[in-house]
Structure formats: C-alpha cells, structure tokens
Chains A and B, each alone.
Chain A
C-alpha cells in the first residue's frame, strides 16, 4: 500500500474517515514509521488547537486584535480630539479670510450648496441655545458646530453605554472646551473657588498662575503668573505679570499685563498697558488711545479699531480696519475695508490687500516712511490660483481626517459600509440618491405638521451630517483598497488620509469635479445609510435560518 496523503491522515486523526478505511490506515500505521510520525504530529497539532482555543481564560489574558486596534486608535483619537479644538479656531479665522475672498470659496463647507438651509438650521439652534451664546456664531463656522454637536451626542451615547475609557472622556472634554460656552461657571482651579463672579480684589496678590472658569472675572489686584480665563466678561484693571489668555464674550484690559495677551471673544478692548504682544481674535477689537503696546499687534476680527500706538508691527486680517495712530514698523492689512486716518505715522511699509481700490482709504496727511503696496484681488481670478482655496482644501482635509478618525472610532461598523464591489457601489449610489432627495422633502412635509417639527429637524440635521460624512466614507474605502480592510491603526489612518486627499483632488478637478462630488456624496450617503440599516437589522429580530 502506498502511503496515504497528509489530507487523508488529517481526516483520520479527526476520526472522520469511514470505518473500513480507518481500519486500513490503522494497519498501515503499524508498518510505516513515516506515516506513524505524521499521524502523531497531526494528532498533537489537533490537541494544540483544542487546548489553545478552549483556554477559557482567554479574555482575561489578552484583548483581541480588534480591541488592541481600538486601544491604539483611542490614543490617536484622544490626541486628535484636542487638535479639533484648535482646528475650530483655525476654521473660524479661515471663515473670515474666506469671506473676504468671496463666498464661492466656502463651497467646501457645504457639499450641495446648502448654505441657505444651514443658515436657518444654525440660527434655530443658536436661538434655542440662547442669546448669551450668540457669539459662538462668530467663532465657529456653522457646519462644524452641527457636526460636532452630533458627534458630542454620539460620544455621550458611547460613554453612557459603557464607560469605555479615558479617551472618550478626553475627546468629549476637548470638544466641550472647543465649544466653550461663556456664562457658565465651571470651576476655579488654582486660586480661589467660586461660582459666578471671581474677583481678585485690589489689595490681593495671587502669587501663581490663575486659571478661572466663571461668569465674570475681575482682576483688580495682582496676579504674578499667567491668567487663563474662561468667562463671559474678563476685566483686567489690576496687574497680570505674565500672559493673559482670555476666552469670553467681552475682554477688557485697562490695567497692566506684563506678557502677551491672547484674546478670543466677541469684544476685545485694550486700553491699558501691555508688556509684549497683543493677539486678538474677535468680532470687535479695539485698541484705545490710552493703550500702551510696545511690540506687535496681530488682530483677526470683523471690526478692528486701532486708536492707540503700536510699537512695532500691526497685522490685521479683518473686515473693517480703522487706524489712527503711530505704527512703529510695518502695517499689513488684509480684508474688506481699510481706513487710515491722520495722524497715522507708519514707521516702515504699508501693505494692504483688499477687494478693490475703493476699499482702501488713506487720508492725505498720513505719513508712510517706507513702501506703500496696495493690491486688490482681480475679480475673475480662477479659484485655483488663490491661496485661500488651497488653504480651505487643506483645512477640509485636516477636518475630514479628524472627523473620519472619530467616526470610525465611535462607529466602527461604518468602516465596513458595503461599497467595495461595482454592484454595491451602484446600489449605494441608488440608495444615496433616494435618501438624499427624500429626506429634505419628508422633513419639509413633517415640519408643516408642526408636531413633526422635532423629527424633521433631527432628520435634517442627520441628513446634513451624512452629506458631510459621505466623502469621508468614500475616502476610507479608497484607503481600504490601498492597504486592505483589516490593517492596523496606522495603515488605516494613513489609508484614510490618502483617501481624503484623493477625494479632495477629484472633487476639485475642473469641469468634472462638481459631478464627481455629487456622485461621491450619493455613493457615500448610500453606504452610510446601508451600514446604519444593517447595524439596525443586526440588533433586531432573529433571522429565520439561524434556528437550530
């Protein structure tokens, strides 16, 4: 008898051969030491498998690979969430820049030119949130607010379902920080404890850095370190020897600040003495005549008023800028309208960039010691030639990447949206088209009934969210196609990033970009809907064929 193949021996040790065949093999074993060895080895292998698999303490010993991946991506996301906060501020700044450039550049924010719908939705939201927070509208572009709101809710759900870990809480906190709401007394770390108003009275000296979360902060005394304040009103009448970092509706500085001032708020008013630089991000920024500012001022705002003297450079990126005092060195302006009044003296160069020549007004008595450069945007300039466009795209890529990480972390199932085969793509496209068209119509009908208004608003918010996420899903499947669907966290993240870049390029191609954009959104939308649907199916009724 010839030696049987390993395949046969494998069935033999599994005790799966017919009895007569097994008997023959047993007989063969006695005469063939090679087969004996093989059968023994196969038998041992089976034992190894059984022991390895049936090790009941499995979960206590090791997390499974998917778990490890989550743990790794949690770290990535934890860091990423902090970056999101920064991205929002960047975006707020970018919103100002892009507004100056013209609204067409804002298209990357609204996949189907939704700005109208977005506006009323955002307005409704802000109205509900109350007047005190209206300044948020100026700080956060509307879409990111809605998207983050939904993600916030998602994160909350995840946390409530199972306190899964630190990263979730960290990202939640980071998002909340990013959306920091003025008028809320949260806590006072270091320094004094109190709700509502925190006052450092005039004879009080805080010999440390002070971090304050309160409704209003009033510093009349002295803080020897830095002051970090989150409050509706931040008022510094006394002295802060370090830097001031203030987030608030109104930030007013009449006292002395030894270091830099970073102000983020609706109104920022500087009339005291500032040791170094002033960085202002706000709607209205005023530097009073009485303000002493020996170094630079960098101001981003919609109305910027510089009545006081600036020791060195003045850089503004704003809607309207009004300058009426001495500027030690260079003055750079970029924005919609510039007014330079007497007695302005500019120590070195003036460079201004506006939409048209009429928007820059320099009074006859103004002295400019260096060069005067005034540029204005040519109206027919292609969007591909503007830096704002690329800046916007970069921001979109960064935001989409972070959002993607968050999405696939919170809802890993969406990563497996069925858009890998041609058939699935067509199916997703069809579903996407139906969902994309039907949702707004259904929402309007629902909204008319008034009772259905909350559902309509929710559906519409979800719809907008899905439109935003659709391309991220496409990017993920491109990434999967490159690196495989089950790669580690790194290759997933890199794949996602590459996918997003490809999508960003594709939708910006001349002539066909718009169409591509539309198609990609439909497919991604469909994929999201299908994966949500199958996720829902999985949780509901048992399938008939799973019966025993």
Chain B
C-alpha cells in the first residue's frame, strides 16, 4: 500500500495544534465517507471532540495519524450505519464474487491531471456506500484489508471483493463520462 508521510508523534502538543494539523485530512475523510460537505463539517467537529476525550487512551507506539483517521472512520461508518438503519451496509453475498474482467474496462491510466482527479472524486461520490467506504478507507486512509474488515465487521475476503468491484464500477463510471 502507499504510505502517507508519517507525521511525527505528538507527546505533549496542545490540542489546537493537533486540530490545525489534522483538521483538513479529517474533514476530507468525513466528506468522502459521508458524501456531503455539510455532514462532514459536523462530523469533523464531533471527531475532534472525541480525539480530545480519548487522548489519554492513545498508545504512542502506534501512528498518531492512523489513530486519528481510525476514530474519524469509525464515527462516520457509525453514522452511515445508523442512516441505513438495519440495512446490511457492507455485506456482499457469495454470488457477487467477481467474474473475470474480460468484457469490462481495463485499469485506469495513471495520468493524473487536476481534471482527472476531479473526475475520480466525482465518480467516487456516485458509487454506492458499500463500495465507496472501503475504497476511501483503503486509498485515503491507507488501511489494510484486515483493519477495514474489522471496522466494517465483514470478512477480510469481502473487503477484497468490495475493493475490486468498487474499482471496476469506478472505471465504468469514468469511461461512461468520457469515452476513450
């Protein structure tokens, strides 16, 4: 996976500094997960309250940014769960195991322009929650399959499937918008 530059571990930094440093990342994460900027702002505020409250429980042996992103992800996933009520949010049944991708569009090319970045984000926003959330956790948070599986309370293999199918859908959406 791709490492985000590890941020130095805070030992006795004051909270406003933490806020300044991580606010945008947390806000972006919430926005991706909740798919709404308004909701993200509320959520980010709540997340920082929690970070403050749980600060004592932080284990300095672990990455601080990972810890923060985990709190934020958990909070947003919880919101999504409650929004969907009893619906099984991230479940996937056996029949949904991916088929060979022969007739599907191939992987996206890595030419990143700002325009393409925008398109990717837009396509991501239009994906169903069950694909969007694992993708964000994996490629924004840089979480491992196991971590994601624990968060979403689904088997590890399902995470792999959701990510795979999510990317396929993303390709389809992007190819729809812009036939190459």
Using CB atoms and an 8 Å cutoff, list the residues of chain A in contact with chain B: 5-7, 10-11, 14-16, 38, 41-42, 44-56, 58-59, 61-67, 70, 412, 416, 418, 424, 534, 537-539, 542-543, 545-548
The contact string, 1 if C-beta is below 8 Å from chain A, for chain B 117-150, is 1101110111000000001101110101100000
Chain A residues near B37 (CB-CB < 8 A) = 59, 63-64, 66-67
Question: In the complex the two chains form, is A45's CB within 8 Å of B38's CB?
Answer: no
Query: In the assembled complex, which residues on chain A have CB atoms less than 8 Å from the CB atom of B31?
Result: 58-59, 64
What is the minimal beta-carbon distance from A163 to any residue of chain B, in angstroms? 14
Say which size band chain B's interface belongs to.
Answer: 35 or more
A-B Cβ contacts below 8 A, count:
146
A-chain residues with CB within 8 Å of residue B71 when the two chains form the complex: 546, 548
Could you give, for residues 1-33 of chain B, a 1 whenever the CB lies within 8 Å of some chain A CB and a 0 otherwise?
110100000000000000000001101100110
Chain A residues whose C-beta falls within 8 Å of the C-beta of B24 in the assembled complex: 56, 59
Q: Which residue of B lies closest to A416 (CB)?
A: B83
Instruction: Please tell me if the beta carbons of B98 and A7 are within 8 angstroms of each other in the complex.
Output: yes
Interface residues, chain B, with chain A CB atoms under 8 Å away: 1-2, 4, 24-25, 27-28, 31-32, 35-38, 42, 46, 50, 54, 57, 67, 70-71, 74-75, 77-79, 82-83, 85, 98, 100-101, 106-112, 114, 116-118, 120-122, 124-126, 135-136, 138-140, 142, 144-145, 160-161, 163-164, 167, 170
Asked if B116 and A547 make an inter-chain contact with CB atoms under 8 angstroms apart, the answer reads: no
| Closest partner residue, chain B, to A54 (CB atom) | B140
Residues of chain B within 8 A (CB-CB) of A63 are 37
Question: Once the chains bind, are B160 and A7 in contact (CB under 8 Å)?
Answer: yes
Q: B140: which A residues are within 8 A, CB to CB?
A: 50, 53-54
B32, B42, B111, B120 interface centre (most CB from chain A within 10 Å)? B120
- Residue on B nearest A48 in the bound complex, by CB: B110
**Chain B positions within 8 Å of A66 at CB level:** 35-38
Q: Which residue on B lies nearest to A542, using beta carbons? A: B50
* Bound: A154/B79 CA distance, A: 24
Given A64-B125, A546-B78, A548-B67: A52 touches B107 (CB 8 Å cut-off): no
Query: A45 to B78, Cβ gap below 8 A?
Result: no
User: What is the bound-complex CA distance between A55 and B122, given in angstroms?
Assistant: 13
Q: Is A50 touching B139 in the complex (CB atoms < 8 A)?
A: yes
Separation of A38 and B104 alpha carbons in the complex (Å): 13
Q: Is the CB of B54 within 8 A of A548?
A: yes
Most chain A Cβ neighbours within 10 Å, of B109, B116, B117? B117
Partner of A41, one of B67, B70, B106, B124: B106
Cα–Cα distance between A16 and B35 once the two chains are bound (Å) = 27
**Which residue, of B24, B37, B122, has the highest number of chain A Cβ atoms within 10 A?**
B37
Report yes or no: A548 in contact with B70, Cβ–Cβ below 8 A. yes
CA distance A62 to B116 in the complex (A): 13
Complex CA–CA separation, A310 to B75 (angstroms) = 73
Interface centre among A7, A47, A65, A548 (most CB of B within 10 A): A548
- Smallest Cβ-Cβ distance to B159: which chain A residue: A16
- Known pairs A6-B164, A11-B160, A45-B107 / 17 extra A-B pairs, C-beta < 8 Å: A6-B100, A10-B160, A10-B167, A11-B145, A41-B106, A41-B107, A46-B2, A48-B116, A52-B112, A58-B121, A59-B27, A66-B35, A67-B36, A70-B38, A538-B42, A538-B79, A548-B57
Q: Which of A61, A66, A537 has the most CB of B within 10 A?
A: A66
B145 and A52 contact, CB distance less than 8 A? no
CB distance from A49 to the nearest CB of B (A): 4
Chain A residue contacts of B106, Cβ below 8 A: 41
Q: Could you name 12 residue pairs across A and B whose Cβ atoms are closer than 8 Å?
A: A6-B164, A7-B160, A15-B1, A16-B160, A46-B139, A50-B142, A59-B27, A64-B125, A65-B122, A418-B85, A424-B85, A534-B82
- The interface centre, meaning the residue of A11, A47, A54 with most chain B CB atoms within 10 A of its CB, is A54
